[in-house]
Amino acid sequence: MSKQVKMGILGLLLVLPSFLVLFVIVVIPILTSFKESLTNKSGGYDLSNYMYLFTDKLMRSNIIFTLEVTIISVVLVLIVSYALAVYMRFNNGFAVRWIRKMYMIPIFIPSVIATYGLIQMLGNRGWVSRFLALVHVESMPRIIFDMKGIIIANLWFNIPFTTMLLGSALTAVPNSVIESAKDVGARGWSIFFRFVLPLTYKTLLVAATFVFMGVIGSFTAPFLLGANAPQMLGVSMEQIFGVFQNKPLAAATAFFTFLLCSVMGYFYIRTMIKEESVRSS
């Protein structure tokens, strides 16, 4: 047996434990859920549960609502996080030091506690409402218990990690590139779009993928801060399974959510493969 074959076998043996764990905790549940989602009321198999997802008015509104919240959250998280990361990368001073010390704190606060904190702050009788009452502002616009509340919670949960991720990518941008661009007359937005963004877009795509998958499958914030209808798919799944005891429809909702995440993952993997092909050519 040649050395190359031995190294190949060794590589497979090293990968095998991880693959088995992935197969048991991810692949098997996905296949089981898909099989369950095809079960109809008479015990046979068909696409009736998936037809219900797209023909029932409430379920359609839940899907649309979930996509709206997810897309808006992803866009806002990327904008705020990238702005913070760029500011910390190319500036110094008290404000930068303060941001670097504080922006990671939300990561260490449990989601349930953070969500209840938002309720206490932004609710009808929360801190903000009481402060407005002191300055004789009687009515406070509704901020939570609808789409806005879920988006605010998503910003709180996702901005720290995304900022850290993008900050690491920006740290890898050589100062010599920025200085050389300035020497030839490039300024401001020109440097950003021609040098900084192209050097960090891969990390930006990774961040967008993580935020998308985290938001679309979230439960705590949508359950506590969302309205009764429409609902995020995670909350809708819990209602279908726990309240209505409709396991096949809950499985169909879960598998559909997995397909949505798979679409995002497909574009991410495709971009990475293209990038590696360019490098190897």
How far is Cα 274 from Cα 278, in angstroms, rounded to an integer? 6
- How many Cα atoms within 13 Å fall on the side-chain side of residue 180? 8
Where are the domains positioned within the chain?
Answer: 55-280
Q: What is the structure's pLDDT at 75?
A: 96
Percent of the chain residues past pLDDT 90, beyond the cut = 39
Going through the chain in order, the beta strands assigned E by DSSP cover none
Model confidence, pTM:
0.87
Which option is the CATH number for 55-280: 1.10.10.60, 3.40.50.150, 3.90.1150.10, 1.10.3720.10? Answer: 1.10.3720.10
* pLDDT, position 66: 95
Mind listing the pLDDT tens digit for each residue in 228-246? 889 999 999 999 988 888 9
Each residue of 115-137: pLDDT tens digit? 998 888 888 778 888 888 787 77
Sequence-separated (6 or more) residues with CB below 8 Å from residue 103: 84, 159, 160, 163
Model confidence over 160-215: pLDDT tens digits? 999 999 999 998 888 888 888 887 777 778 888 888 888 888 889 889 999 999 99
- Give the span between the Cα atoms of 208 and 201, in whole angstroms: 10
The chain-wide mean pLDDT, for the chain, equals 87
Tell me how far apart the alpha carbons of residues 162 and 155 are, in angstroms, rounded to a whole number: 10
pLDDT at position 191 is: 84
